[in-house]
A and B are shown apart, each in its own frame.
Chain A
Amino acid sequence: MNLRRDVFQAIADPTRRAILLLVASQSMTAGAIAANFDTARPTVSKHLQILAECELLEQEQNGREIYYHLNPEKIKEIADFIEPFREMWDDRFNKLESVMKKYKSKK
């Protein structure tokens, strides 16, 4: 099963929520983040990857290190419970638009 990765999936995991809290106050490297958890380093990397994929975290190259920090725009999206409702309608209307564009070109 390959579900679309969205912010709600991302925050459903307790480790990922903890990571978000950690980097809320300062940018951190993957190593510094992993040092806060008992879990294996690759597991933490996987969580970071998921958080970055759904744009909750942003990466910034600083010399040889990659720093992770919060993306406030995306965090705002979670705070707004209406956003999924809007997205549902947006998806539906996008579908309508593409169906009707095809319909038009068939005529």
Chain B
Amino acid sequence: MERKTKIKTEDGKQELVITREFDLPLELLFRAYVEPDIVEQWMGTKVLKLESKKHGGWQFETTDSQGNKHRFNGVIHEFIPNRKITRTFEMEDTSFGVQLEFYEFEKLTDDASKLKIHSIFESVAHRDQMLRLPFARGLNMAHNRLQDIVSKLK
């Protein structure tokens, strides 16, 4: 099966590109990024603020399995319905820094559309740190599970 989500990274560059094709009309894909109640459903976050317009700001909050709250925020620089969103992204209280993100929405057919997210980081190290996060989380989960098993053996 062909992978629908593609990640493009180049060594030594402080950017990454995520592309994905959807079996959705362009308008529905774009709406998924604009309407707070829809964003909450698929992102699994609480939308504290989402001002989808030029000079608008956004802030989301997620709660992890331990009950800790994590907030994300940014400002919107460019908002062209069904075409483009330019915004910043920051995970609050982390060392990931601020990213500049370009979301480009494209119609493929009446029922298919494409999203391209181009993220620019403060440095190559910041980008690589973000790329490794789910990998590290996977290993941590594995280690935690191992610890659970081992502690039951005792």
**Chain A residues at the B interface, C-beta cutoff of 8 Å:** 1, 3, 6, 8-13, 81-90, 92-93, 95-97, 99-101, 103-104
Contacts and interface: CB of A to CB of B under 8 A. Distances in A.
Contact of A8 (B28, B142, B148): B142
Contacts of A90: 3-5, 20
Nearest to B149: A13
Contact of B131 (A6, A9, A85, A92): A85
Contacts of B148: 1
Contact of A82 (B9, B24, B38): B9
A12 B137 contact: no
A12 B145 contact: yes
A95 B43 CA distance: 8
A99 B134 contact: no
15 contacts: A8-B135, A8-B142, A12-B139, A81-B131, A83-B135, A85-B7, A86-B5, A86-B7, A90-B5, A92-B43, A93-B20, A100-B24, A100-B31, A103-B28, A104-B25
B75 interface: no
Interface of B: 3-7, 9, 18, 20, 22-25, 28-29, 31-32, 38, 41-44, 115, 130-135, 137-139, 141-143, 145-146, 148
B22 A97 contact: yes
Contacts of B24: 97, 100-101, 104
Contacts of B25: 104
Given A81-B131, A86-B3, A104-B28, A99 B145 contact: no
B138 A93 contact: no
